[in-house]
Structure 1
Amino acid sequence: MFNVERLIGVMRARWWVALLVTVLGIAAGIAFALTRPKLYIATASVIVEGKADPVSSMLYGTGTAPGYINTQLEIIRSDRVAQRVVKNLKLVDMADLRKDWESQGSGNVSFESWITELIQRGLDVSVGRAGGSVINIAYAGSEPRFAAAIANAFVQAYMETSIELKIDPAKQYNSFFSEQATEARANLEKAQAKLSRFQQERGLLVTDERVDLETAKLSQLTNELLAIQAQRVDATTRARQATRSADSMQEINANAVVAGLRADIARGEQKLSELSLKYGDNHPAVQEARSGLAELRTRLDQEIRRATTSLGSTATIQTSREAEVRASVDAQRARIMQLKEVRDEGSVLERDVDNAQRMYDMVFNRARQTDLESQNRQANVTVLTSALPPNTPESKVRKHVATSVLLAILAGLAAALLVEQLDQRLRGAADTVTALGLPVIGIMPQPKAERSWRGFLSMNKQRVISGRRLLGSSGKS
């Protein structure tokens, strides 16, 4: 177990091990930094726009949305974009790359996959500014023109992939809505054909106005029926009254013929009474007057019967008219019921046609919209700067040297501790207690004569006198 005191002691004792490993590590790091191949870094920049798509009216993620920008970074780093770079630049046709692939013995990996992985190693994608919408696409290569070509190819592949990611779902939706539009059109034609057959079988469709007109006719017939019923009741009552007491009927009494006959009878009775008083009952004049009076009475009875029969005929006519109008009312009511049934059935068919038409219009418009979206080749990415072949290689010597120095120092410390672990020594009073399990009684300083240069380097070495040794010395004395 190492504490600070022991660690200092180990470093003072094993300084040469730490120094040797550190020097060798720094030398190796410098050699690696100076001998590694030169890298040329070409950088292109794009702007990711957050405006609404004029075709689909879809709002892309705004440029300040970290989630959306991070998604774009992952898309650029994806195998799909790298494979498109390989395809666009026709890297599979490069003989040098094929030789490298064959020389590395990557038979288990296809040549295209190997190239895809190879170009992804030199790719570096970053955001230009935190919260910004500018993306920098950098590529590091051993040849300036190749690095610039790969960087620009990644930009082009990214834009093409962005368009595909936008239009591929639109194509799928367009296929779906096209099928739905075909089905909706078939349903519309079926509903229209059913409505047409219904119109041919039942005539024109019944409208609410026509039903209202027929209802008005029914109301008119109903009112007429009520009037005829009143007339029929009145005529029947008068006919019955005339049958029972015709003399008291106003209609009979107001008859001119009846009134004239009654007047003639009154005059005849008066004349007969005068003749009877004057000549007696058997006088021919009296007999003639009596015969004339009987004839007048017969004629009166006939006229009364004729008037009574006329009243009965009127009642019969009114009854017949009532039956006719009642039949008309019933027929009109049945007609209205039939018209309502036809109207309701036709309304259902019309609603079916309207619903089918609305469904077809909606699906058809959506199919047209998705068709436009599937043909939209405009990306929401704009090239800000294209990559140019760099004139000078990227120098990372200082970075590599600084890293190698840090790693060499850590390696030197680790080596010194490892040597100490393999060859443990007592470096202080605490080691005595830990290793021997004995208490420390005292520590004697080193003689001045031994404080030479070598003694100065090992001045931390202390002579520990254990309790056992002191006890032995005291026993001898």
Structure 2
Amino acid sequence: MNFQQILIILYSRKYLIITILLLTVGTITALTLRMPKQYIATASLVVDQWNVDPVSGASIASQVASSYLGTQVDIITSHNVAVKVVDMLRLTENTLLAKGFDAKHYKGDMRDWVAEHLIKHLEVLPSRESSVIKLNFSAKDPQLSADVSNAFAKAYIDTNIELRAQPARQNADWFDEQLSFFRERLEQAQNKLSDYQQKHGIVVMSEKVDLENDRLAEISKQLVDSQSHTYEMLSRKNQLLLSKRKRQFESPAQKGDSYESIEEVLSSTFVQTLKGDLARAEAKFAEVSKRVDKNHPQYKQAYAEMISLKDKIDQEINTVLESIGNNATTAQQRDERLLSALGDQKEKVLQLKQQQNEISVLNREVENAQKFYDNAMQRSVQTRMESEASQSNIAILNPALMPQNSAKPNVTLNILLSVFLGTLLGIGMAFIAELLDRRLRSPIDMAEQLGVPVLGVLSAQKKRKSLFASKRSVL
């Protein structure tokens, strides 16, 4: 079947096609006019992705826009948000919705049923090139459609804040529990440090250690000086002993002069005074011995005076020599006392250093406990602020307004579709009728169906040629 045959068939069945087209258009138009009107209200939201946390100030990693917006769409169409809308608008008290609720076939309560009904009529359209989300809600009442669309926007923002605040609230409660634990640890560390200081009488450890170190250095210096002095005293004592041994083999005249070189003898004022008196007594005795005989009273008196001075000098020298030995013994005893004091001071300093190390350990425990407590306090305050935060990264760009014209049904679109559908049905019915009642409508049909050549085509009207007549006779 060629295109010319198709046109002939359609032209022959034109009344059937027109009838079906008119019936289809009339039926769809009547149904469209009888359909209840649906109004669509649109609210626009802007979802901004924060790069910095508004509470803590910490940087937040940017999320993938597609997945993030997809998550927000799922939140908007969630049952939780829809229930908030029902409670916000008190839709359970709506008479129209109450009539449509069938408690026998729906197991839940009316609140959940209305929420699911709202979700079915809600359309969420995220933008592909921006962070704008559009909420379209259709309803028979134009005001209701606008109210529900705005309510979904507000309920979504509230839910977003709750989703941020709920984990922060749980974290804040956990940090509060941990805060009491860290506070107890801090108090225990502080009490332990205080008890140790009271037990050992420590107020300022560093100053006490410095003072005892200074005392140790002073005792060490005194011991060194004392040992030097003792060494000197022992050297003089040894020199004196050596001199005494030599005196055993010296003459009486030499014995008196053997101690002349000793420093203490030379520095003794009394000895030097006696030596001066002795020199004068010897001079007097020499003078008297020239004038008188040894039995003369003046001679005896001068000799006795000279001998008395020599005895005093010897006694004084012996006293000086004894003092040298006593001083050496005293110096040794002083060295022993200083050495003992030095040992005691060293032990005291070592004990203080051990206490200082213990104090350092206890102070470190207090510092660590304080650090843990401060960190826990900071996180507790931060999470508590986050749990009570009412900020959101979502804002209403354009609130939904009450639509002036209905969005459904679209009469013009439905009529155009009915024309297209009626045309297709008419053409289809024309072909079906042609198959059921096949006729010869052209020379081509005669040649194909009967298998005989066509000699010519006679028109019913002489003045008017047939539409499908051949211009030349077929021989």
Q: What's the TM-score, normalizing by structure 1?
A: 0.70
Q: What does residue 122 of structure 1 align with?
A: 121
SS for the counterpart of 1:372 is helix
Question: What is the Cα deviation at residue 106 of structure 1?
Answer: 2.8
Question: What is the Cα deviation at residue 202 of structure 1?
Answer: 1.5
Q: What does residue 424 of structure 1 align with?
A: none
Letter in 1 for 2:197: Q
Q: Percent identity?
A: 31
- Cα distance change on mapping 1:48 and 1:286 into 2, 3 Å: same
Q: What does residue 81 of structure 2 align with?
A: 81
Q: What does residue range 389-404 of structure 1 map to in structure 2 within 5 Å?
A: 389-394=402-407, 395-401=409-415
Letter in 2 for 1:396: N
Q: Where do 5+ consecutive residues of structure 2 fail to align?
A: 245-257, 434-450, 460-466, 469-475
Question: What is the Cα deviation at residue 261 of structure 1?
Answer: 7.1
- Cα distance change on mapping 1:10 and 1:335 into 2, 3 Å: farther
Tell me the distance in 2 between the aligned counterparts of 1:448 and 1:49. 83
Question: What is the Cα deviation at residue 206 of structure 1?
Answer: 3.7
Q: What does residue 142 of structure 1 align with?
A: 140
Greater mean deviation of Cα atoms: 235-244 or 198-207? 198-207
Preserved contact between residue 237 and residue 325 of structure 2 (Cα < 8 Å): yes
Tell me the distance in 1 between the aligned counterparts of 2:388 and 2:381. 11
2:353 counterpart of 1:340? yes
Tell me the distance in 2 between the aligned counterparts of 1:162 and 1:130. 21
Q: CA RMSD in A?
A: 5.0
Q: What does residue 436 of structure 1 align with?
A: none
Tell me the distance in 1 between the aligned counterparts of 2:31 and 2:270. 154
- Cα distance change on mapping 1:374 and 1:234 into 2, 3 Å: same
- Cα distance change on mapping 1:296 and 1:206 into 2, 3 Å: same
Q: What does residue 463 of structure 2 align with?
A: none
Q: Output one character per residue of 1:281-315: Cα deviation in whole Å (capped at 9) or x when no partner.
A: x9999999999999888766655543332221111
Letter in 2 for 1:112: R
Question: What is the Cα deviation at residue 398 of structure 1?
Answer: 3.9
Tell me the distance in 2 between the aligned counterparts of 1:344 and 1:371. 40
SS for the counterpart of 2:36 is coil
SS for the counterpart of 1:310 is helix
Question: What is the Cα deviation at residue 405 of structure 1?
Answer: 6.5
Tell me the distance in 2 between the aligned counterparts of 1:415 and 1:334. 122
Letter in 2 for 1:386: P
Q: What does residue 307 of structure 1 align with?
A: 320
- Cα distance change on mapping 1:61 and 1:38 into 2, 3 Å: farther
- Cα distance change on mapping 1:111 and 1:9 into 2, 3 Å: farther
- Cα distance change on mapping 1:303 and 1:328 into 2, 3 Å: same
Tell me the distance in 2 between the aligned counterparts of 1:121 and 1:154. 13
1:388 to 382, 401, 407: 401
Q: What does residue range 219-258 of structure 1 map to in structure 2 within 5 Å?
A: 219-246=217-244, 247=258, 249-251=261-263, 254=266
Tell me the distance in 2 between the aligned counterparts of 1:11 and 1:138. 47
- Cα distance change on mapping 1:239 and 1:114 into 2, 3 Å: same
Q: What does residue 183 of structure 1 align with?
A: 181
Preserved contact between residue 43 and residue 136 of structure 2 (Cα < 8 Å): yes
Question: What is the Cα deviation at residue 126 of structure 1?
Answer: 2.5
Q: What does residue 37 of structure 2 align with?
A: 38
Preserved contact between residue 216 and residue 342 of structure 2 (Cα < 8 Å): yes
Tell me the distance in 2 between the aligned counterparts of 1:116 and 1:289. 148
Tell me the distance in 2 between the aligned counterparts of 1:26 and 1:61. 58
Preserved contact between residue 179 and residue 373 of structure 2 (Cα < 8 Å): yes
SS for the counterpart of 2:101 is helix
SS for the counterpart of 1:168 is helix
Q: What does residue 422 of structure 1 align with?
A: none
Tell me the distance in 1 between the aligned counterparts of 2:427 and 2:189. 90
Preserved contact between residue 207 and residue 343 of structure 1 (Cα < 8 Å): yes
2:376 counterpart of 1:363? yes
- Cα distance change on mapping 1:410 and 1:347 into 2, 3 Å: farther
Tell me the distance in 1 between the aligned counterparts of 2:432 and 2:285. 180
Q: Output one character per residue of 1:220-271: Cα deviation in whole Å (capped at 9) or x when no partner.
A: 2111111110111111121122112142552365256767579969988x98
Tell me the distance in 2 between the aligned counterparts of 1:399 and 1:219. 109
Tell me the distance in 2 between the aligned counterparts of 1:415 and 1:343. 110
Question: What is the Cα deviation at residue 198 of structure 1?
Answer: 1.5
1:350 to 343, 353, 363: 363
- Cα distance change on mapping 1:235 and 1:161 into 2, 3 Å: same
1:207 to 205, 208, 214: 205
Q: Output one character per residue of 1:94-153: Cα deviation in whole Å (capped at 9) or x when no partner.
A: 4553443328x53345543332221111112234x6544443322111222322222222
Q: What does residue 324 of structure 1 align with?
A: 337
Preserved contact between residue 211 and residue 339 of structure 1 (Cα < 8 Å): yes
Preserved contact between residue 206 and residue 343 of structure 1 (Cα < 8 Å): no
Preserved contact between residue 61 and residue 68 of structure 1 (Cα < 8 Å): no
Preserved contact between residue 265 and residue 296 of structure 1 (Cα < 8 Å): no
Tell me the distance in 2 between the aligned counterparts of 1:211 and 1:119. 80
- Cα distance change on mapping 1:408 and 1:283 into 2, 3 Å: farther
Aligned length, in residue pairs: 424
SS for the counterpart of 1:102 is coil
SS for the counterpart of 1:170 is helix
Preserved contact between residue 45 and residue 134 of structure 1 (Cα < 8 Å): yes
- Cα distance change on mapping 1:153 and 1:288 into 2, 3 Å: closer
Q: What's the TM-score, normalizing by structure 2?
A: 0.70
Question: What is the Cα deviation at residue 400 of structure 1?
Answer: 4.2
Question: What is the Cα deviation at residue 322 of structure 1?
Answer: 0.7
- Cα distance change on mapping 1:448 and 1:290 into 2, 3 Å: farther
- Cα distance change on mapping 1:132 and 1:232 into 2, 3 Å: same
Q: Output one character per residue of 1:167-211: Cα deviation in whole Å (capped at 9) or x when no partner.
A: 212211211221122222111221221122122112234432332
Tell me the distance in 1 between the aligned counterparts of 2:230 and 2:427. 135
Q: Output one character per residue of 1:73-101: Cα deviation in whole Å (capped at 9) or x when no partner.
A: 33222222112112223333445534433
